Structure 1
Amino acid sequence: MEADLHNLVDEREGVFKVVVSLPEDAWHNFSSELLWAEALEDGTMRVLNTPFFAKGLSYQDVISIKVESDGIFFNSVVSSGGHSTYRLIRNESVDDEIFKGRWGGLAELGCTYESFLIGSAYMYAIDVPPSTDVRKVYSLLEAGEKDEIWDFDEGKYAGSNY
């Protein structure tokens, strides 16, 4: 049964929660992730936040959706917004000052993040804008992993403009 999209709108006008199904065998044991999105005139939606778990999706991607009685569900990526997504989990023994010091290099390149506590470790969803040299970002992520500041993984590589 299909539902009216406007009945599923969030408190913020024009902003919707889209359910993205996740693999059953994923390490985190979440079955789905909710992403914020805005409706576009052609019936697609634009992703408004950086995914923590969904692979192949990034901030500003345009997606197709399926509206059902129990929610709005991700169907596919229609077009890339040009952003790349990386995820990292901070080593539990690393304090805030050390993390902030290492994060500074990524911030200088234009990266931003969303974070939350998963178990006793902080997880970060990293947005890499299209104007950023992804090779430099990746190098800093690898260095942080080598120095045991964090572990990281690639959610989506959107390509490089460099």
Structure 2
Amino acid sequence: MTAANGQSLPGPGRTTFEVAFDLKPEAPDWPPVPVERLWGEKTAVEFEMRLLNVPFFARGVAYGDLVHVRPDQERRELVFERLNGESGHSTVRITVLDQRAGRDVQHRLRAAGCSWETAAQFSSLLAVDVPADGDYRALRDWLVARRGEGAIEFQESAISARHLEQVPDFPA
């Protein structure tokens, strides 16, 4: 995976672990994997991790969120159990349908202060982190307009309470 626009990913000096998120099928071929693994770092709370990257498929969590994990001895990994606390960040997935719009999408995301991740096997998919202090209303209006033009599709995977306040007419 590649991070864009300064996304903080695990690096030297950090004690990081992978957290497994078991995914529920939403459609026959979606999500395309049964488990997504995100990087997390331990907090002072037992079995609590702070997420260090943006999920592609796991719903309801965002960069920086605090999650409770359980050790699964059989699988030999830490497995997500629940959200302990929001970071204020939001997660949006964007699928670029018109490749000519790709640069425009990246330019708009940078202007909004967002960072994103991509993966070679899902080249048209962007896992986008909307920062806690970002203007989600303006970004969402832009995403809706681009979707209406047929350039992109997007999914709001985890919208923080802070960003929900900016969009009073957010669909329930």
TM band (smaller chain)? 0.7 to 0.9
Does residue 115 of structure 2 align to residue 109 of structure 1? Answer: no
Matching of residues 58-77 of structure 1 within 5 Å: 58-69=62-73, 70-77=76-83
Deviations 1:66-94 (A, max 9, x none): 01221000010000000011001111x42
- Measure, in 2, the Cα distance between the counterparts of 1:128 and 1:38: 20
- 2:84 is matched with 78
- 2:7 is matched with none
**Out of 150, 153, 158, which is 1:151 matched to?**
153
- Measure, in 2, the Cα distance between the counterparts of 1:89 and 1:134: 18
**Could you say which structure has the larger radius of gyration?**
1
User: What's the RMSD between the two structures over aligned residues?
Assistant: 2.0
Matching of residues 115-126 of structure 1 within 5 Å: 115-118=118-121, 121-126=123-128
Whether contact under 8 Å (1:113, 1:124) holds in the other structure is yes
- Measure, in 2, the Cα distance between the counterparts of 1:102 and 1:11: 28
Instruction: Give the count of matched residue pairs.
Output: 149
- 2:141 is matched with 139
- 2:170 is matched with none
Structure 1 residues 134, 11: CA separation in 2 closer, same or farther (over 3 Å shift)? closer
Whether contact under 8 Å (1:117, 1:123) holds in the other structure is no
> Which consecutive residues of structure 2, in runs of 5 or more, have no partner in the other structure?
1-9, 167-172
- 2:96 is matched with 90
Deviations 1:80-139 (A, max 9, x none): 000011001111x423xx3112321221111111012446x5111010011011111111
Letter in 1 for 2:20: V
- Measure, in 1, the Cα distance between the counterparts of 2:121 and 2:141: 25
With normalisation by structure 2, the TM-score equals: 0.79
- Measure, in 1, the Cα distance between the counterparts of 2:50 and 2:60: 14
**What is the CA distance between 1:61 and its match in structure 2?**
0.2
Whether contact under 8 Å (1:106, 1:140) holds in the other structure is no
- Measure, in 1, the Cα distance between the counterparts of 2:72 and 2:134: 37
- Measure, in 1, the Cα distance between the counterparts of 2:145 and 2:50: 32
| TM superposition outliers: structure 1 runs of 4+ over 4 Å | 10-13
- 2:56 is matched with 52
> Which consecutive residues of structure 1, in runs of 5 or more, have no partner in the other structure?
1-9
- Measure, in 2, the Cα distance between the counterparts of 1:147 and 1:85: 22
